[in-house]
Chains A and B, each alone.
Chain A
């Protein structure tokens, strides 16, 4: 069968295929788009790796003996150590890409004008992934994860009213043998549901695409570009999987949980550390939750915190500088949370957390309004 006959054959059974083919070969895209535009596709690819490796892990995982069953997967299952490493390092790659996506959105003011929905979709994606990432960390069953789950489920118990009842339903009561079984299901459901968010994000990105003056087709031009991005991403991924499989994890989480020993510093893995640090801003467990929600809520509100009325205007030097400072601030927030607990570490966390809120509530409206003049 030659190529034309093959096309006719597949179009007869699946007409959509020729629609997709024509669309991919029709020049409609602007030239020389940056490599970082491939980030959503890289996130989708990482999520596929996580879903596939997570499926294998779920087959062998026993929520009643989490620590022992991760050990079983790493030691007894054929290539279980590799699949577990793919899943663990996959989260590092995933959140690296997600944080980079958000940083780039803020830096280049992609959240304005037609990019509003893309921005809201990206932030929603990040929030859902952070929740799924936290749940996955709980499933690792180490001493730190265990202590963190104990604290979260116990404080959920004592909350009054609807939030308490919702949280009680979420955890199924204080941390007991059934809690992890429940969280394993929620982790998997969120991990699959996030693909729906990716589809929404894709639709928003398409709608926000400007008309190109001298367009090129997706294939072969952008397929070649995506291939470069994917191989370089895979290269970094491989370095983490094979040479730093526990990157960014608290070393204490390698210890089996014990009822008698609480870890000195139960810091979560690196991608949750900034959120964990912001909790010190407000007192009490519910204060911590409110601080984290405010931190994420500010990202949602960003399109309206930017006071510049012209959505297409490029950002000025000062604005870019403070955005880079913000990125360093979030990094420092995570590092301060990972330090051994000390008065200095707490003061640093408060300072860095306050700077985060200062950036969004004062600097962003001020600078964007100033640069407009």
Chain B
């Protein structure tokens, strides 16, 4: 039954993923902005870090693209790459078994699961990084997601480096039932250990970020940031609309809404992200020097 999981881990490395992504747009020289529908020259879009220069829309990034944008070139070393999903409940919905759904998603995304973790540097400053790929079952948090966040925390503690998470999630992985809900507890427990080690934790919330991820580790950072326009919340907008039976006001649950309501520290445009992170990492450096 688990044959589908016995892929060579190599298949899921970043370079392969990059190639897969590049294959998707071999001849297309133009992309259409998902929000304002403006046609943008692909190279220009890439140079702008996939931000529409007309309307400011920040396109969703794959984990590989995010890592390439954030870290110094070739500095990323993946950890826990071989951790993949299991099917503890033998879950079947609408006649489809969960392992088949996983296999479809793995084939489509060339990822073993939705979180990529590893170490790297930003302007030469070391960080431990965990990035969620929303394309993998909506960034849903199951046992692998939680375990990989835990591994990232443990690596940060072992190497005494700050932790940076980049989150995007539709919520819990329904197919893993209560194991999924408990990942909220698990990731939070890991953060208690990070806090005891007095290591800084920086969290970037990206579009979209909902449910158990937003209600656990992702908002328990020393500095919580979000990308402009990202939708972030606990309950999804559709659930709220159905509950209150009225349309939601414009701008509701955006990064800017969260900033105005005091829930996050900063809204950071993508082109300023690396320089902001560099500044923050330098600001926390004296604390680490004192701890040594």
Q: Do A and B bind each other?
A: no
Q: Which residues from chain A sit less than 8 Å from chain B, CB to CB? A: none
